[in-house]
Structure 1
Amino acid sequence: MTKQTKTNAMRILDRNKVEYGAFQYLSDEENTDGTLVARMNERNTDLVHKTLVARNAKNELFVFIIPINKELDLKNAAKAAAQKKIEMLPHKELLKYTGYIKGGCSPIGMKKLYPTFLEQSSEQMGKVIVSGGKKGFILEISIENLLSTLKGQLKDLIKG
């Protein structure tokens, strides 16, 4: 019997007895699109969310979780985080601050628990799909469990 691979995000959810679904996919450059990954795992593509990290002028970090097909509105994000202005964290700094790389950045299990915000329109779906913390892994988790685990808040974050 083979041992199931667990990511740090999964271990945190397991330790906290949080219910979630874990799915794996072949991780190559052609399969990193979130919509395709959802289809490969027979999941609703509307549930797929991306994790974005931004910072303020003092280099304090903030995490934003938005639908994969939407764009983060930096003004809305700054307002949600009670900041005057924020900017996206460059991809090359992602590993240093979060412990994750682009394409495998989960909101769960970062090096620190940064203030985290989920797009408020996602609440109506009841659950979301986020990165599992490593390329090739995704997690399906209820909005309630995600927000509880991350001490997150629902806010208006997207453009349009």
Structure 2
Amino acid sequence: MTPAIDLLRCNGVDFELLEYTHDANIAAYGEEAAQALGLPPDAVFKTLIVNVDGKHLAVALVPVSKTLDLKALARAAKGKKAVLAEAAVAERATGYVVGGISPLGQKQRLTTFIDSSAEQLECLYVSAGRRGLEIALSPEKLQQLTQARMVPLARN
């Protein structure tokens, strides 16, 4: 399996694994997952790796139906500026390929922020560490395992 799934099993976390066939022609991975699995886009969260002030990386999770507010993330990370990390940097830091980056089981423990809209959900969906594989779990468990802070990060 993947390090994300291994982490969940090792911690005895209740989760559901959902699989779909990834279309290599689609680059909007989160939207593809929501559509292929028939899930509400507000409950499927994309995992974005962000460089804060050019000094350190952080993880931001926002619904696939929204975009990341980089200024809000910079404030939450106590920085001045945030930009999306280059794909190669994100892959090296997490051990996952873009489109399959999970917030769980990453190579490096990065500071993690989850959009506060997750607090309204019973269950949310994140990448399981491979394109075409999603994990369903409670926002509380995700927050606990990643030691994340819930903050407003998404914009329409």
Please indicate, yes or no, whether the TM-score normalized by the shorter chain is above 0.5: yes
Equivalent in the alignment of 2:115: 119
Structure 1 alignment gaps of length 5 or more = 1-5
For residues 78 and 27 of structure 1, the distance between their equivalents in structure 2, rounded to whole angstroms, comes to: 32
Alignment map for 1:23-38 (pairs within 5 Å): 23-30=18-25, 33-38=29-34
Describe the SS at the equivalent of 1:47. coil
RMSD: 1.7
Identity of counterpart residues, as a percentage?
32
Query: Which one-letter code corresponds to 1:99 in the other structure?
Result: G
Equivalent in the alignment of 1:7: 2
Equivalent in the alignment of 1:88: 84
For residues 75 and 45 of structure 1, the distance between their equivalents in structure 2, rounded to whole angstroms, comes to: 23
Query: Which one-letter code corresponds to 2:101 in the other structure?
Result: C
Query: Which one-letter code corresponds to 1:10 in the other structure?
Result: I
Equivalent in the alignment of 1:20: 15
Equivalent in the alignment of 1:71: 67
For residues 73 and 35 of structure 1, the distance between their equivalents in structure 2, rounded to whole angstroms, comes to: 18
Equivalent in the alignment of 1:133: 129
CA offsets 1:9-40 (integer angstroms, 9 cap, x no match): 00000001111110111122256643342343
Query: Which one-letter code corresponds to 1:25 in the other structure?
Result: Y
Question: Which of 77, 102, 122 lines up with 1:106 in the alignment?
Answer: 102
- Report the CA distance between 1:95 and its aligned residue: 1.4
For residues 96 and 33 of structure 1, the distance between their equivalents in structure 2, rounded to whole angstroms, comes to: 19
- Report the CA distance between 1:155 and its aligned residue: 0.2
Considering only CA atoms, is the larger Rg found in Structure 1 or Structure 2? Answer: 1
Aligned residues: 155
CA offsets 1:77-109 (integer angstroms, 9 cap, x no match): 011111122211011322111111111011111
Larger strand proportion of the pair: 2
CA offsets 1:94-128 (integer angstroms, 9 cap, x no match): 21111111110111111111110100022101221
| Structure 1 residue 49 corresponds to structure 2 residue 45 | yes
For residues 87 and 15 of structure 2, the distance between their equivalents in structure 1, rounded to whole angstroms, comes to: 27
- Report the CA distance between 1:44 and its aligned residue: 3.0
CA offsets 1:60-80 (integer angstroms, 9 cap, x no match): 111000000111111100111
- Is the contact between residue 90 and residue 98 of structure 2 (CA under 8 Å) also seen in structure 1? yes
Equivalent in the alignment of 2:148: 152
